Amino acid sequence: MVGVFNPAAVLVDGEVVLLVRVAERPREHRPGFTALPRWDVTAGLMVDWVPNAELEPIDPRVVRRKADGLVRLTFTSHLRVVRCGQGTAVREIGDAIFCPQGELEEFGVEDPRITPLNGQFNFTYVAVSRHGPASALASTTDFRTFTRHGVIFCPENKDVVLFPEIRGDTYFAFHRPVCGTPFTRPEIWVARSPDLLHWGSHVPLKLPGGDWQSGRVGAGPPPIRVPDGFLAIYHGNRHPTQPGEIGEYTAGALLLDATDPTRVLKWTAKPFMRPEEDFERMGFVPNVVFPTGIVPMGDKLLVYYGAADTVVAVAEFDQRELMASLTDTN
């Protein structure tokens, strides 16, 4: 196993329920070969054994085929349900498993985010395949059975989170398109939908910059409603400085206008979460805090995150103190 990390989180009947990403790679080792797992539509989990001489390592997660320049993951991921009582300890690891299905998920399903809407728990996730990382939508009412609704943002697009409220007849979502030609710094976009399936009216957030988000930027947990608007936690990645490095992942926060979520009112000029503990600084991908779940508990916020792409962790913040740390973007 590579690790268990990047959990979605939601409060269900007074208990915190997580949908965690479980990343695995083959235990078997063959000298001179690299194991590249994938899910086959008919045969299930398969492993392609590729000679090392035909591959170029990029980072701990990815290799590139020399023959055609295409990349493969060195692991695959599925999702598991974990019940956590009041939120700070594991009570039960459920039997339900959300496994990859079909060609569009052949390299795994990753990084879910849950938003309760319309009497069910809707979660976005990344569907990884030969076509690239796309964002898909699924739902559940009981965390035992799941309904897939298909890809809602085509490759390459990740970090899709649904807002918890409908404005009129309109749903909102964050998403993170990846621009292959670097005309701009990394960006978070907001999209609108009438039905959670068809998305348009795409607008980039006007997000102030900083070295801590020079490499990548993207949504964290789904935004939560606060008196002054929507509080949104997001991640930033410092641009790598040397080959094979991924760069530090940290977290900031935004306050968005309640009637127009494309308007950023306030933000944290510096990260309020960064890798400090050993389990955050050392692991499969070092120096990573990657928040993906949030559960309000009175005046406190339980923020669930992946640490070093290896473990799930939770941090507690005082909501009033976090809001007070935000500054105007003007």
**44 domain-assigned:** no
**64 domain-assigned:** no
Write the secondary structure of the chain as one string of H (helix), E (strand) and C (coil).
CCEEEEEEEEEECCEEEEEEEEEECCCCCCCCEEEEEEEECCCEEEEEEEEHHHEEEEECCEEEECCCCCEEECCEEEEEEEECCCCCCCCEEEEEEECCCCHHHCCEEEEEEEEEECCEEEEEEEEEECCEEEEEEEEECCCCCCEEEEEEECCCEEEEEECCCCECCEEEEEEEECCCCCCCCCCCEEEEECCCCCCEEEEECCCCCCHHHCCEEEECCCCEEECCEEEEEEEEECCCCCCCCCCCEEEEEEEECCCCCCCEEEECCCCCECCCCHHHHCCCCCCEEEEEEEEEECCEEEEEEEECCCEEEEEEEEHHHHHHCCEECC
**176 domain-assigned:** yes
The amino acid at residue 66 is K
Which tens digits make up the pLDDT trace of 80-90? 999 999 999 99
- Between CA 228 and CA 236, with CA 230 as vertex, the angle to 5 degrees is 125
**242 domain-assigned:** yes
User: Residue 232 has what pLDDT?
Assistant: 98
**31 domain-assigned:** no
**7 domain-assigned:** yes
Q: Are 257 and 229 in contact (CB under 8 A)?
A: yes
Residues 6+ positions from 300 with CB-CB distance below 8 Å: 316, 317, 318, 319
Low-confidence ranges of the chain (pLDDT < 50): none
Domain count, the chain: 1
Q: Are 254 and 232 in contact (CB under 8 A)?
A: yes
**208 domain-assigned:** yes
User: Residue 180 has what pLDDT?
Assistant: 75
CATH number at residue 161: 2.115.10.20
**41 domain-assigned:** no
Range of the domain at 199: 3-25+75-328
User: Residue 210 has what pLDDT?
Assistant: 81
pTM for the complete prediction? 0.95
Q: What are phi and psi of 175, to 5 degrees?
A: -150, 165
Q: Are 161 and 173 in contact (CB under 8 A)?
A: yes
User: Residue 243 has what pLDDT?
Assistant: 75
Give residue 221's Cα distance to chain centre.
Answer: 8
Which tens digits make up the pLDDT trace of 173-204? 999 998 777 788 889 999 999 999 999 999 99
User: Residue 179 has what pLDDT?
Assistant: 78
